[in-house]
Structure 1
Amino acid sequence: MMFWLAMPVTVLFYLLTRKLARRLNSPLVNPIMIPALLVIGLLLALGEDPANYQAGTQPLSLLLELAVVAFALPLYQQAAKIRSQLVPILLCCGLSVLISVGTTLLIGGLIHASPELLASVATRSITTPLAMSVSEAMGGIPAIAAGLVIIVGMMGAIAGFPLMRLAGIHHPEAQGLAMGAGAHAIGTGAAAEVGSTQGAFSSLAMVVCGVITALLAPPLFHLYLWLAS
């Protein structure tokens, strides 16, 4: 039964949450987090196999993959501004990756976390396919990496802009870079709703941070293992 209900239920939960979010204007009413929790609750209540739900939403998954291409539009619209600030953008994204991976390894070393767990956590701030691939290459668990990516993205989408407002960060480019670097695709979706500039710079940061993480995370992880041995 869930195979046939998967798509209409998912779309209904999403549309209702979007309508509620626009009415309440609260970051806690997140169109990704709340529908996901509702679907999980529904599956548990009905005792349905999640595989049936996943199979039923395959068309949506395909459309989602195609929709990612739409992130290129705001990049194109802001191309001149991006070119003029390319060096600061690369520096910011590089520092973001170093801080993300470095703090993971530092805290992991202090609490004596297993290398397998550290390899799974270190890629939490990049998009899911890259996180799973890089994590697996370092000996981590792709499923844990994917779960953490989703959690981090949801947290960023919910708390990112309120925290930046509290910190006095109002520059659109800076907001976009922060969202893309810290909350990847989910954060980029939230940034695009705030403004085209935020969406463009968030898209750029998501891509650049993903590439830099793929290049830097493995050698930093192996350096950590060598120092810890």
Structure 2
Amino acid sequence: MIFYLALPLTLALYLLTRALYRRFPLPFINPVLIPMLIIMGLLAIWQLPLEQYKAGTAPITFFLEPAVVALALPLYSQMRHIRAKLLPILLCCLLAVLISVAGTLLLGHFLHTPRDMLSSVATRSITTPLAMSVSQSLGGIPDIAVAIVILVGILGALIGFPLLKLFGVKDPHAQGLAMGACSHAVGTAAAAEQGVEQGAFSSLAMVLCGILTALVAPLLFHLLA
């Protein structure tokens, strides 16, 4: 039964949450967080098979890759600004990756975190496919890496813009870079809600930080882990 209900249920919860957010634009009314919690609750309460739910939502998974590719459109629209600020953008993304990965490794060292768990958490700020690949190459557990990435993305979407406002970061380009560097695709979706510039620069940061993490994380892991 859940196989046939999975797709309409997921879409209905997403659209309802989006409509609720438009009426009450509060950070915790998130179209990823709310449907996820409801579906998890339904699967747990009625002991529904997760495999059937995943099979039922296969069309959503199929369209995920074209949706990611479509992020190139806002990037193209902001190409003039990106070219003018390319060096600062690269430096900011590199610094974000170094702080994220090195900070995780150093904290894990002091907390005596097991090596496989450490390598699963170190890739928390990049998009899910890259996080799975990089963490697995470091000896991590891909399932844990995915869970951490999703949690970080949702947390960033919830508190990212309130924090930026609290610290007086008003430039849309800086806001977008911060969201994309810290909260990958979920943060980029939240940035796109704020404006085209925020969405474009968040997409750019997500891509650059993913590439830089894939290059830098193995080196930092062997040096610091």
TM-score interval, smaller chain? over 0.9
Deviation of the 1:144 alpha carbon: 0.5
Percent identity at matched positions?
Answer: 60
CA distance in 1, matches of 2:53, 2:121: 27
List structure 1 segments (4+ residues) > 3 angstroms apart after TM superposition: none
Match of 2:209 in 1: 209
Match of 2:164 in 1: 164
Match of 1:42 in 2: 42
Instruction: Give the letter aligned to residue 61 of structure 2.
Output: S
Deviation of the 1:60 alpha carbon: 1.1
Instruction: Give the letter aligned to residue 53 of structure 2.
Output: Y
Match of 1:119 in 2: 119
Farther off after superposition, 212-221 or 109-118: 109-118
Deviation of the 1:175 alpha carbon: 0.1
CA distance in 2, matches of 1:161, 1:191: 8
CA distance in 1, matches of 2:82, 2:91: 13
Match of 1:60 in 2: 60
CA distance in 1, matches of 2:87, 2:18: 37
Instruction: Give the letter aligned to residue 3 of structure 1.
Output: F
CA distance in 1, matches of 2:60, 2:91: 36
Do the aligned residues in 1 keep the contact of 2:102 with 2:224 (CA within 8 Å)? Answer: no
Deviations 1:69-119 (A, max 9, x none): 110001000001100100000000000000000110111111111111110
Deviation of the 1:65 alpha carbon: 1.9
Instruction: Give the letter aligned to residue 212 of structure 2.
Output: I
Q: Provide structure 1 residue ranges, at least 5 long, that are not aligned to the other structure.
A: none
Q: TM-score when scaled to structure 1?
A: 0.97
Q: TM-score when scaled to structure 2?
A: 0.99
RMSD over equivalenced CA pairs, Å = 0.7
Farther off after superposition, 89-98 or 41-50: 41-50
Instruction: Give the letter aligned to residue 209 of structure 2.
Output: C
Q: Provide structure 2 residue ranges, at least 5 long, that are not aligned to the other structure.
A: none
CA distance in 1, matches of 2:102, 2:10: 37
Instruction: Give the letter aligned to residue 65 of structure 1.
Output: E
Deviation of the 1:46 alpha carbon: 1.8
SS in 2 for 1:55: helix
CA distance in 1, matches of 2:223, 2:103: 14
